[in-house]
Each structure stands twice: as structure tokens, then as C-alpha cells.
Chains A and B, each alone.
Chain A
Amino acid sequence: SSELTQDPAVSVALGQTVRITCQGDSLRTYYASWYQQKPGQAPILVIYGRNSRPSGIPDRFSGSSSGNTASLTITGAQAEDEADYYCNSRDSSGNHWVFGGGTKLTVL
């Protein structure tokens, strides 16, 4: 399958931990990368590879993977983390890439 499936919406209380998941067969072969997008802005990379963060991304963001599921965890969510989050990986061919449908995170 070339699809990546995400929950459309997730909420978390301020300061609590939230996990956003991404499911797809290709995740058994390829790592997912994760992107944060706030309204009216371009996406930014928050997690890549096994569990790496670009410079400037807070360490409360982490990634993990098991089987066909990749996860983005925010430990101690802040109000500024409210955004849409997208996973991305290659499909089974390795030459086409695909995004998950996105998860809208609300921080309560």
C-alpha cells in the first residue's frame, strides 16, 4: 500500500504528553519524517530518520517506530505546539513519496 493513515484530530491538555501516529505498510521499510504546519505558514520539519530533530526544534518532540506505525510524541505540550502535523515516507516502490492525511493537534 502507498497510503499513510493519521487520525484527523487529537487534543492534549497543556503540559501533558501526546502521541500522534502514522500507519502504513511502507513504514516497515522506511523511516517517517514529521512536519508541523501552522495556519498560513509553510510546513517545517520536526523529526527525521530514526529519531532526529533539526536545529531549533525543542527536545519535547521525539519520534519512534514499531512495525507499520510511526509515532510523533510531544512530552509536555505547549500552546505553541497547536498545529497540523503530517508524516511522510516513501511508498513501497521506493521512488514515490506520500504524506499522511494530517493530524490537527489542539492544546487545551
Chain B
Amino acid sequence: EVHLVESGGALVQPGGSLRLSCAASKFTFSIYAMTWVRQAPGKGLEWVSAISATGVSTYYADSVRGRFTISRDNSKNTLYLQMNSLRAEDTALYYCAKLTSPEVWLSRSDFWGQGALVTVSS
């Protein structure tokens, strides 16, 4: 079955940076779009960003646009989220998820990782 493992979560000061990784296995990573979804402690799910299978097309929520960058390395079966200018409100569990087609739109998340915890605090 699809396997997604996030890493890179940590405690970081406001204004700091962090890069999350998501290692994918047991499916052909290069032909599926991928996405990041976050969940603040005790709160609901918030879509953050998504990237097409080729990496050519990327999309962001308004709350992170200009601060976060999504990317992927299909040779390493790995998805990334570079997070800069972090704020307290970015504190959350960050999930990576596989989408069901090569393109982002009209595509649902069918498998999710266990998440990486990012805490932004001084």
C-alpha cells in the first residue's frame, strides 16, 4: 500500500525557516500530484499547497503564499515544503497526501502520511 513519511518538523522561532520532507514509496510517485494539508492543535484541516506530477504547476493557500514553497524530486520520490517567515499561526501538524491524478485540480487526496509537527514559538 502507499507509504508516505513526513520529516523535518521542529520547534522554530517566529520569523525562522524550516523544510519539511515527505518520502513516498510503494507507488509510482512521478505520475501523481501531491499536496500538503495542515491541522493546528485541536482544530480542523486546512489545505496549504499542491504540486502537479511534473512539478511544473504549483498552488498555494492565501495564508502561506509568498512564504512557503512546494517542490518535488521525482528521482528521490520526495516531496518538500520550504517554509520561511514562520508565524505562530503556522503551528500545526503538516500532512503530505497523494492526489489521484497527475494534475492538482479535480483531484482528491486518497492516501495521507502520519504528519510532521511544526511549532512556531519563542
Q: Do A and B bind each other?
A: no
